[in-house]
Structure 1
Amino acid sequence: MSKELAMKSNKVKVFEFIKEYSITQSTDEYPKLTTQYLSEKLDMQRTNLSSILNQLVKEGKITKTTTRPVLYQLANFQLTNQKDFENLIGYNQSLNEAVMLAKAAILYPQGSPHILLTAESGSGVKYFAKNVYDFAVKSKVLKNNAPFTVFDCKTFIENPTIINEMLYGDEVNTGLVHQTNQGMLLIKHVELLSGYQRTMLFSIITSNKMPSNQYVELPRNYKCIMLCAIASDASKDLYDLYRNKMDFVIELLPLSQRPLKERFALLELFLKQEARKLDRVLEVSTNILHSLLLYEVKDNIRGLKNDIHTGVANCYVREHDVHHHHIELLLSDFPNYVRKGMIYYKTFKEEIDEIIPGDCKFAFTKNEVLKNRAKENNANIYRTIDVRKKELKKQSVSEEQINTLVSLQLHQDFQEYLNELSNRVSDKEQLSKIVSMKLISLVERFITRVSSELAINYQENILYGLCLHINASLIKVSSKQRLANEEIKRMIDLYPKHYHLAKEFVHEIEEEFRVKMNIDEIIFTMLFILNESKPVTNKHVVTLIAMHGDSSASSIVNVVNALAMHNNTYAYDLPLDKSMDDAYEDLKEQIIKVDQGKGIILIYDMGSIRTMAESIAFETKIEIKYLEMPVTLIGVTSSNKASNNDSVDEIYEYLQTKFKDIKYFRKQSDKKILVIISKEQSEVTRLKSYLNEHFDLSNVTVHVIENSEANHLYNEINIIANEGKIIGIIGNNRPNLAQYPFAEVRWLEQKNAKTLEEIFIEEDEARDDINEIFEYLKDQFNEVDVDGIKDYLLDFTKSLEVTLDATLDEDQQIGLIVHLVCLIDRISRHQAPIVNFIASNIILNHGMLVSKVKELLVPLEMALNISISDAEIATIISIVKKR
């Protein structure tokens, strides 16, 4: 054993000597050493030394020649063991063009290239440049020990004199330009250089001279690969100036333009680095990963890294006294703007789910990412569900959440189950050896009926699979219900006809075999017949006729469908006594119901219907084309004229004149229109004065609507929209018109908008973001009635602003809402409260404030029958105050 230890120690000693000696030599490549030389320097016998050197060769740490004598050389293993630029995340994807240009620049036979890098702040310029340097060394364009120097002009922006001295030198010291001879120099933020400093730099680039510097002259053999990084938001003139002086221009994409897979790779890298620093395992939920993948990062890669570090640091402080090797990150550990990323989950759901499987728990160690994904393949769907539930219970997941997760995985599990069943038999003869002919006949008759009624053709595997499944269920009848009631209801609502057929079939099985089956069997039968649901009919454009009256539209639609015989025309009747808010929701429901994905032709009688439909189209993204047939309006006008005792000729001529130029289609116009809704003339005058004073209204027409009653408002908006493009609406209350931006009067002057369009941007986006966060929370926290508490939470945030005498920005509102929903979820699941060391100080020093906030939460506590502790309230105060 002592001999092995001595050998190990000697091998380390030999390698360290070769490495240190080689790095200190100023040669184009590492020096080649003989065994004799090493033996003398290390005072070792040549036989023992040769054995050690051969081991190092096998390990790839040194190389040897085939000459005599044999020469040994340090291998540049940090570079040779990987492909060029391989450690750059995205080197073969979003950074592929940048990498190819960098290689071309380094290998170009011209000599030392000058490269202009354009990038947003925090995009990894220094890291990219270091990879370019490594490639230059590996390609033997630079020596192994060539200098790599980085200078950031932004660091010394307050003192230009220091920039001169640092870069170009003075009477005492040589500058970085001189010191980096035969190496690579990266100058960051060259847009900040003064005119004099640029002149010096360009002189070096073009002629290797510094004519204005009386102290330092560059050596005759001066050779330096120079990378100049310029901010992407630098002026075009400045950019063009540098571009014209450089040999190559390379653009590094901002994080927002890089694929989500690359961003996830960055998350993995940074979280592993944090795990290494703390020597802990970091457990991270999918909610946090969603947020980190999708939030708007303020400083690109550097900002992402800093925000992750902030979250991990907060987590470490919170868990400091627990002394567990595993620590769990919480959303509350991160800044509010990070949590906001959740609102974009629905938009990128498919892409996100490919990267982050929903049934995984992530754990980041210093070297790897662990994903705990319970996967059990069984030819028994009940056993698969039971195993999945058992694994989830181990993770202390609530029963309701377990049901939700099982439901989400149901279709995937069923598909695997069907595949396994189908592989058991290849034909009906083989099937008959396992299953009785009575059952086979029943299933065949059922599938024939379904095929006929649903116009679907089924393959044989559905017959085999359903027979085997029913047979197994008959052998072991279970009254235990595995599927959640919510999933059962969802399936019934989505596929009512399939449910009716499956229910009758299961009832027939029960009667025939005298057994009692649970409702799960109906759902599984539905899954079998849904598996190959390929209707022979194609989707089409549909026509929707919408008119005022109890049955006006329905009567016309009955005639149309009877004559056309396609049954693709639908009706919406708007009773005159129905409120416009209810009418809006009813029309929206009908539009969603009849849409087949190809678009809708809407034929309507009055403008109020069109105005509502435009808003609904904006909300639902359903394509709608509009055609006005104003028979109701013509009839009303004729009736009014008749009541004035006008003659038939007078009425006829009036109607012809009034409606002769009627536009069946809304004309397109570039005219911009701003709408003010207010019945107060003084308010209208003040608003017009403010708008004229702060904005250019030369190409904008201002319309005022005094009556805000919904029906009148919709008709007025329809008329105005025929004149041009409505760019926004200003008023005291938001109308139900999603297609138009809206600004509330009371906040108008506080926005400090620079353009007319900016009046509407912030409020609309804030409203959309708040709604999106509630939608996301509703999907993620199934035990919490998010819809039911939405108004309570919004009221609380407003009241909290008054109590704390503070204005919450959008990020703070979203962060607070997310925290409260997480808190309610924890309380409802009887989980231990999160430790917050700041809370005790707040309770001690601001007890009155805690009491006031507690009063604000009473309605929420009563609604949910929960109690929120003073410590949790103090945490809420700390969240608002610190951010």
Structure 2
Amino acid sequence: MKRNERILAQLEMLSVSLSWNDLKKNGGITALQIAESVEIQRNNVSADLNQLFREHKLIKINGRPVGYLSLATAERLLGTLPEQTFFDSLADFIALEPHTLNTDEEKTPFSDLIGADSSLRNQVEQAKAAILYPPNGLDTLIVGQTGVGKTLFANMMFNYARHIGKYSEDAPFIVFNCADYYTNPQLLMSHLFGHVKGAFTGADSDKRGLVEKAHRGILFLDEVHRLPPEGQEMIFYLMDNGGYAKLGETERTHHADVLIICATTENPDSSLLKTFVRRIPIIITIPTFEERSAKDKIDLLRFLLTTEAHRIKKPIEIDTEATKALIGNTTYGNVGQLKSNIQLVCANAFLHSLREEKLSIRFKDLPAEVKNGFFHLSGNRVEMQELSDQLQSDVIVMPDGKNISLIKDDAYEPDFNLYSIIEDKVGFMVDQGIKDEEINRFIGIDIDIHLNSFYEKFQNNTQSREKMLKVINEDILNFTENIKSMIEESLRKKLDERFILAFGLHLTAFLKRNKEHKIVRYANIENVVQEMSTEYELSLQINQMIKTHFSVSVPMMETLYLTLLINSLLKDNKSQRVAILVAMHGSSTASSMVNVVKTLLGESNIRSIDMPLDLSPKKVLDDMRTIVREIDTGKGVLLMVDMGSLTGFGDILTEETGIPVKTIDMVSTPTVLEAVRKATIMEMELDTIYRSLKDFRGYDSYLEKPLGTSTALTTATHLDKPTAILSVCTTGEGTALKLQSFLGNILDNMGRSDIEILVMPLHEVAQRKEELERYNIVVSVGIANPNVGVPFIPLEQLFDNEGEDIIAHYFTAFNSSIQQQVNKPSMVLQMSEESLNEFLTYLNPSKILPLLRAFIDDIELFEEINLTNGQKINMMVHIGCALERCVLKETLTYYSKPSPSQLSKVVDYQTIALLFSTSLQIKLPDSELFYLMDMIENVKIQN
């Protein structure tokens, strides 16, 4: 960029937020201010400013010192560009201050942008300055998180350029996502700049690039951080002088007048070449949804609701609590997430108000995930008060008037009318005599499927396509995608990405063999014509398409083999297996465990999620939701976790994804090995695997040596060493640290303050042998046996059985003179309280735990069973959540018909539950008690 261009760009930046009051008080921007900003001598800055003034590129205001304004700032302050560019004094310019502006003259495309005069004011002024800069505007970088509206803002800049006459009405606005071809620089260059005939294999003719198509318009490069360094160099050369070369040419003989607008979610300083960033004079940062004002948030919500009102042709009314919940739930996806949530709640509300004149959205009807937004928001009293001040009553939007669309082609707008789908399906089901309750349930699932599948396509398609382009060239991939669409249309059957990959690889291999004149004979496939007539007819069509597109002949044997391939890919996947997801606390606990399993059993459908202690459960749940959808093959997912909030995520994932998820807690490496073996080798069903693993305790005896034979206990020299427990995990974090706290409580209850707890990573045990020898280690505890010559207690045994008795047994045997009364429920209560803290919002876990314990004790007496610690924890958490559901008036509905046994017991259960009515004024309904009876029955079966 030339020196005078840098100076003008800096003037734009310094004056972008200048107000009338600022101007009256301080005058315009001075040469000294600009000189200090760009580190150029003041006299050189003055000379360039005067030259720019003579070229009518800025406003000059005479005085001491002389002040300058950008044309965009002058237009903003006056409402229109002044006829003159020189003023004898500041007073002469201020005299033009408009007192009553004509709104029609003021209105620009940015006027419809929510926040243009508040939280986006500076960004809008920067955008106007970039567009107004002569002759072709200033290249711009838009920075912001996913969903803040970067693409929309770029569209607004283009519309503004046409509005002021900078571009003609038919000027091009070309969008290119740099992520599409970032792994293939050759394809990238071909798409951006075009290629000449013969530039590469398959280049049969010249091709225009996007730069050429964007001539005298705007080229919008989205996700520009995915552009490889060589791609960035090509672009900044274009920015410098407008010259470029097509792929296959040696000289830059082509020229294009193109304004480049880029967008990124990353930090430009760390994700882009410094030489590239230096060439972009205007950087616009779009604020996140949380950074927007309360008024902007409500206006955005109102605008999105209005869009839905136009779709359904009904007024929409939403109460203040639901409004706050939707706003509070928008924590990471910004406006895009708000839009998705609004479409979901509107679709659900529409289903329940088909015969109503208006659509009503009430807080009590919101999905649980959206409701959580209200509680998230309640933690910020300032924002809650600001929203309350803006929301004096329920929000009501009407479908009348013109529905304003700020962007011509919004990729995030569904290409289907969900409300029409709902109406059609409901009408059909009513005609079939299906009950309202069943209709609501089926259509509710349908809504989730439609919306989730729509939004997921933006999360996964780009990434999977990038992976395929590493092994299949783009021409074959495009052809394969067309074939997939043709088959789906012919058979009315949806194909997954396996088809694209398998067919693409097969076609790649066939074309290579054809080029090398190699013939492959496939044995015993001549009978496929009779057995697979439908697939054979499709193969004939496809082979004709291959002949036409690739100019090759396709032998009959290849047609027969293709028939077999299509038949295989169209079959219901008989190799579907239960998928496994391991999630554990610690920075690498789960991934280390999964890597061990993969090493032993080979690759299988298993994934891991590590949960560092500072990572929020919400982020982990979001990651789980994505992975569960990716790995499910139709037979469900086994979720294997260690403890805490992770144990409660299975039911949430099932509800939100529709995929069956079962949870096994207190996971260990042997447990994961057994799960993978049963899922992949034995191909068991999810429920079968789940039941078999509930009581799995490993492949060997946990106590490898009897207490009396342990060398750690019989060696005389140990008597002079401090007594200790060794707590191990794979990383030294997470589980071992949590165990240290649990074991400390147990030892406190035993009165054993003389026992130390050593925390150590499993892989360091051998190297730190000398350190361990300084202690008399009585027992080791953790996820795997450290083999230090003492009894080992795995987590499963410690928590699922009477772990406190086990610890007490070892230390009582070690020192028989100590006879302490062990308080058995201490660990149960601690773990229950920790889990309830994750799930309860209104009830205080520490207050209700004694009631829960008494309730469980009474249930054990009545049912004549003995619950393990793990079972007690699960029941305490379940009943605690049931009490909270009663507070929220969201108790579960028991869909099954109660058995005679349940009906005979319900009065007794009600009597036992009276302690909650007496102490908390909360009555557990029969439906919740029936679910509890089911849990007790399952326990009896397991026992």
Give the TM-score range, shorter chain: 0.3 to 0.5
Larger radius of gyration: 1
TM-score (norm 2): 0.36
TM-score (norm 1): 0.38
